[in-house]
Amino acid sequence: MQDEQLTDGATTARFPDFPADAEYGLLINGQSVPAMDGSTFACVDPFEDREWGVVASGSAADVDLAVSSARAAFERWRSVSPGNRARILLRWAALIEQHAEELARLQVHENGKTITEMQGASLGTAAAASFYASLAANMHGETFESPLPRHRAWTVREPIGVVGAITPWNNPLVLLSWKLFPALAAGNTIVIKPSEVTPLSTLRLAQLGLEAGLPDGVVNVVMGAGAAGKALAEHPDVDKLAFTGSTATGRAIALAGAARFAHVTLELGGKGPHIVFPDANLDRAVEGLVTGLTAGTGQACNAGSRVLVHADIHDEVIERVGRRLSELRVGDPLDPETEIGPLASRPQLAKVTSYFDISREEGHRLVTGGQRASGDAALERGLFVEPTLYAGVDNRSRLAQEEIFGPVGAAMSFTTDEEAVRLANDIPYGLTAGFWTKDVDRVHRLSGQLRAGTVWVNTWRVGGLQLPFGGMKASGVGREMGLNALDAYTETKSVWLGLDS
C-alpha cells in the first residue's frame, strides 16, 4: 500500500504536508511513544480511498500508562490557580487559530468533510478554548447566611480527577473541545481516545497544548480502536467518562462507568424530525431541509433526517428538496466549491449503502439519489453516495427509525399539529428537532411538546457555546456547553464551620 502511494503520488500531491509514511506516536506524559506492543494502523483518505500515516495503536497497557500519567499530573494541575489555567487555555486558543488551516486540512484528510466546514470547526475549537478559559477564571462556590447559629457554611467546586474522553470521527476537534477544555479549566487531567478514523487531528491539538504551556501528563492521547476505548471506559482509576458516539457504544460505556460509579456524560445518536407547516417561509424551509440532510454529508448527530411535511404543501416541498439535493456539488472536500464530500470511512459507506437495499425492500418512493455516485472517475474511486431522499416513508420503518449517518432522508406527510408531534416523538432518540411556521402559538406549543434537547424554529443546525447541547431518551445523558458547563467536570463540596462564639 505504501509503495503504491509513493509511486502514484496522489496522496502526496493533495497533502504534501502529511507524508503518507510519517509515523505518529501516542502522547503520554508529554512524550511521543510507540504502542507497547509495537502495533500501528493507517488512516484512510476517503476521497482517494487510500491509506496514509503510520499511527501507534494503543492497547489496555498503553491506556493504563496514560491514566497513571494523568493521575500523577492531577495534584499539580488542580493546584494551578484557575486564572493561570485560563491563561494556558487562552495561549492554546491563539495557537489553534494560528494553525487553523493545518488542523482543517488534517481533518479533511482524515474524514473527508469539506474544507469549508472544517475551517469553521478549527475556529470553533479555538473559540471553545477561550470560552472555557473565561469559565475557569470565574470559577466560584457560594457562601450562605448560616442556617444555624454560631456556624458558617459555604460550597467549593473541586475537579473530579482523571477524565477519560472517547470521541467520534464526524467532527473530531469540536466534539472533543466540549470535553477537553471544561475538564482542564476545572482542574482535571485527561486521557483522550480519539476515533481510529480521525486520530491525528486530536494528536496535533494536544501537541499545541504542550506548546501553550500545559504541564506533562495533563493531556494524554492514546490512539487506537474500540478496544482502547473499552480499556479506558473500564479503567478503575478514571473518575469521569465523557463520550460522543453511537448509542450502542454509549450504553457499553455507561455500564462500564456504573460498575465503579464514575461520572458519565454521553452525547449519542439522533434522528431529528424536521417539520414544515403550510404557513412557513418555504424558500428558507427548503434550504433548511437540505442543510439538515446534507451538512457533513449527513454524518451528524444533529441531522434533520426525518422530513415531516404538511399534506397541503407536501408534494411541492418534496419536489423542491429533491431538485436541490440532485444539484449539490459533490466532489473533492479540499475544493472550497464542494458542497458535499465523501463518507468518512469504508464501514460507513457499507452502512449507508445497506440502507439503499433496506429502502428498496421496505418499498419507499425514491425521490432522488439511492446509489453510489458515478459518472466521474474520482467520484467512483472515493467513498461517495448521492444525496438521497425517500418519500411516503412509514415512521415505523427501519429507514425512519434507525440512525443512518449519511445524506439520506426519510420523508412523510401529516395533516394536524398533533399528528406531527406524535410522529416526531415516536422514535427512541431525542437530540434535536425543528419546525418551520409563522404561528406564534404553535411555536410555544410545539417547542414544549417536542422531546429533544434542542429545538430549532425557522432555522436549523445553529448553536453557540453559551447554550447547553445534549439529548433526551437514547440520545444521551447530561449536557455539554452552556454557562454551567464546568458543573459536569466538578464536584460540589459543602463546608460547615462551627464557631466558639
Provide the binding-site residues for ligand ADP, judged by CB under 6 A.
166-168, 193, 195-196, 225-226, 229-230, 233, 245-246, 249, 252-253
Whichever of 135 and 233 has its CB closer to ligand ADP, that residue is 233
**Minimum distance between the CB of residue 399 and ligand ADP, rounded to whole angstroms?**
18
Other residues' Cβ atoms within 10 Å of the Cβ of residue 122? 24
8 Å CB contact between 259 and 269: no
**Minimum distance between the CB of residue 110 and ligand ADP, rounded to whole angstroms?**
13
Secondary structure element (H or E) that encloses residue 421, with its range: helix 417-425
Catalytic residue among 301, 386, 402, 480: 301
Burial class (CB in 10 A: 0-12, 13-18, 19+), 112: buried
d(CA 481, CA 5): 41
8 Å CB contact between 387 and 406: no
What angle in degrees, to the nearest 10, is found between the helix axes of 417-425 and 440-449? 30
Exposure of 499 in the CB half-sphere (CA atoms within 13 A): 8
Whichever of 300 and 457 has its CB closer to ligand ADP, that residue is 300
Q: Is 4 an annotated catalytic residue?
A: no
Bridge-based pairing state of the strands 50-56 and 40-45:
antiparallel
Cell of 273: 424530525
Q: How many residues does the chain have?
A: 501
d(CA 3, CA 168): 30
**Minimum distance between the CB of residue 402 and ligand ADP, rounded to whole angstroms?**
13
**Minimum distance between the CB of residue 271 and ligand ADP, rounded to whole angstroms?**
14
Whichever of 225 and 477 has its CB closer to ligand ADP, that residue is 225
Q: Is 43 an annotated catalytic residue?
A: no
**Minimum distance between the CB of residue 364 and ligand ADP, rounded to whole angstroms?**
24
**Minimum distance between the CB of residue 393 and ligand ADP, rounded to whole angstroms?**
23
With cell 491514566, the residue in question is 67
d(CA 491, CA 377): 55
Whichever of 130 and 475 has its CB closer to ligand ADP, that residue is 475
DSSP per-residue string spanning 353-376: HHHHHHHHHHTPEEEE--SB--SS
Burial class (CB in 10 A: 0-12, 13-18, 19+), 105: buried
**Minimum distance between the CB of residue 198 and ligand ADP, rounded to whole angstroms?**
9
**Ramachandran quadrant class, 103 (left: phi over 0; alpha: psi -120 to 50; beta: rest):** alpha
**CA quadruple 454, 279, 426, 301: dihedral positive or negative?**
negative
Whichever of 163 and 411 has its CB closer to ligand ADP, that residue is 163
8 Å CB contact between 195 and 226: no
Say how many Å lie between the first and final Cα of the chain, rounded.
79
Cell of 281: 417561509
Read off φ and ψ for residue 303, nearest 5 degrees.
Answer: -65, 150
Going by C-alpha positions, the residue among 291, 378, 391 that lies closest to residue 330 is 378
Catalytic residue among 110, 117, 267, 386: 267
**Minimum distance between the CB of residue 424 and ligand ADP, rounded to whole angstroms?**
24
**Minimum distance between the CB of residue 408 and ligand ADP, rounded to whole angstroms?**
15
d(CA 309, CA 315): 9
Read off φ and ψ for residue 397, nearest 5 degrees.
Answer: -70, 165
d(CA 353, CA 487): 41
Which residues are catalytic, by number? 267, 301
